[in-house]
Amino acid sequence: MLKKSSFLMAILTVMLLGGLLVSCTGDQEALGPPAGSDDDPQDEDPQEPAEPVDYEALGVNELGQIMFLMYHEIGEPEAEWVRTPDNFRKDLQALYEAGYRAVSLNDVLDGNIDVPAGTTPVVITFDDSTPGQFRFIEENGRLVVDPDCAVGILEEFHRQHPDFGLAATFFIIAVAPFGQEKYVQQKLDYLVEKGFEIGSHTYSHPYPGLGGLSPEKARQELAYFIKWKDQYLPDYRVRSLALPYGTYPKDMSYIIRGEYEGIGYHNEGIFLVGANPAPSPFSGAFRPEAIPRVRASEMNTEGTGIYDQMQRFQENLQARYISDGDPNTVVIPEKLAGELKPGLEKEKTIITY
């Protein structure tokens, strides 16, 4: 039997060694992560005697809001709809340091939010499948991911900070996605293999968006996206849609689910263009057919850009989703119990404090 103090020493040593290991592998970028390391976060959680989480001290609130960040092009120079590679890196660093962890959009739709206790999930999304989001370049006769494109930056950041997570959703326009036409198949395969998600941004991004089209034309745009996707990824299920120009009709039923020429689609999560954090998926206020996004920009955002919202969360921690670390429970301050999504108790263990 170990005495308590030597037990603590042992734990400290393990933590220290673990930290050293992370910083060592982090420096060897060229080697990349060892196989299977994408699933590491679980390995770091020792399963046995889990420390009880102090909800009060961490301010756990799984009814707090979540940011779905909306990016467009990654490139030079910075503009309203362009984020430079360095600014994108800066955003990831700022999020990481402020306790945000990247989660996949579909996991949020499923209410399966698996981030450490005390941290806040964030969803990273990209619209328009522009070249700077995913570019292959040739290096010594080999095809590699451009380290300055969004995919390259996300992967490198994840190598340096494995506990940030590696997750993003690409809302693709079917017409010539990511610019390099000859690599469409390779890029889609690559994204899926790495666990990134593919969402619909309609077949052709028609102006002025789905709100301005006849129901028939809108159904065609949505179904043709799926038809295009099926050529490359027949087994992949597209579950989300970002509305081009953010416009939508009054009747959302045929945007959510429908069919055209025998091709069906089901958009479980539908995303707007602006301008606020979204309610928690456990909240009665969460509307999957109209999920707002935060513009990941510092230009013309009128106080609603990424840093404005982070600042707001910093000043009002209660507004922000803070996890208890267990995806199977929903932990909230007692006074918020009335805001829970009706019926949630059938899916989750609810804990109030």
Query: How far apart (Å, rounded) are the C-alpha atoms in residues 230 and 93?
Result: 36
**Per-residue tokens: 33:** 């992560």
The CB-of-202 to Zn ion minimum distance in angstroms stands at: 9
By CB under 5 A, tell whether 107 contacts Zn ion: no
The CB-of-47 to Zn ion minimum distance in angstroms stands at: 43
Kindly report whether the peptide bond that precedes residue 296 is cis, defined as omega within 30 degrees of 0: no
CA proximity to 282, closest of 353, 241, 337: 337
The CB-of-191 to Zn ion minimum distance in angstroms stands at: 18
Give 70 or 306: the residue with its C-beta nearer to Zn ion: 70
Give 158 or 229: the residue with its C-beta nearer to Zn ion: 229
The CB-of-151 to Zn ion minimum distance in angstroms stands at: 18
Query: How far apart (Å, rounded) are the C-alpha atoms in residues 203 and 183?
Result: 18
The residue count for binding Zn ion (CB under 5 A) is: 3
Candidates 73-81, 128-136, 138-146, 188-196: pick the segment binding Zn ion (CB under 5 A): 128-136
The CB-of-330 to Zn ion minimum distance in angstroms stands at: 33
Give 152 or 244: the residue with its C-beta nearer to Zn ion: 244
The CB-of-172 to Zn ion minimum distance in angstroms stands at: 10
By CB under 5 A, tell whether 127 contacts Zn ion: yes
By CB under 5 A, tell whether 146 contacts Zn ion: no
Give 245 or 254: the residue with its C-beta nearer to Zn ion: 245
Give 127 or 146: the residue with its C-beta nearer to Zn ion: 127
Kindly report whether the peptide bond that precedes residue 77 is cis, defined as omega within 30 degrees of 0: yes
Beta strands in the chain (DSSP E): 67-71, 73-74, 82-83, 100-102, 120-127, 136-139, 142-145, 169-172, 197-200, 240-242, 257-260, 263-266, 269-271, 294-295, 329-332, 349-352
User: What 3-state class would DSSP assign to 309?
Assistant: helix
The CB-of-201 to Zn ion minimum distance in angstroms stands at: 6
Amino acid letter for position 233 = L
The CB-of-206 to Zn ion minimum distance in angstroms stands at: 11
Give 75 or 244: the residue with its C-beta nearer to Zn ion: 244
Of positions 62, 128, 148, 221, contacts Zn ion by CB under 5 A: 128
Binding to Zn ion by CB under 5 A, coded x per residue (else -) over 246-275, reads ------------------------------
Residue matched to tokens 């006074």:
335
Give 73 or 114: the residue with its C-beta nearer to Zn ion: 73
Pairing of strands 240-242, 269-271: parallel
Query: How far apart (Å, rounded) are the C-alpha atoms in residues 267 and 109?
Result: 11
Candidates 9-17, 24-32, 136-144, 243-251: pick the segment binding Zn ion (CB under 5 A): 243-251
Query: How far apart (Å, rounded) are the C-alpha atoms in residues 284 and 345?
Result: 13
67 beta partners: 122
DSSP 204: S
* Binding residues vs Zn ion (CB under 5 A): 127-128, 244
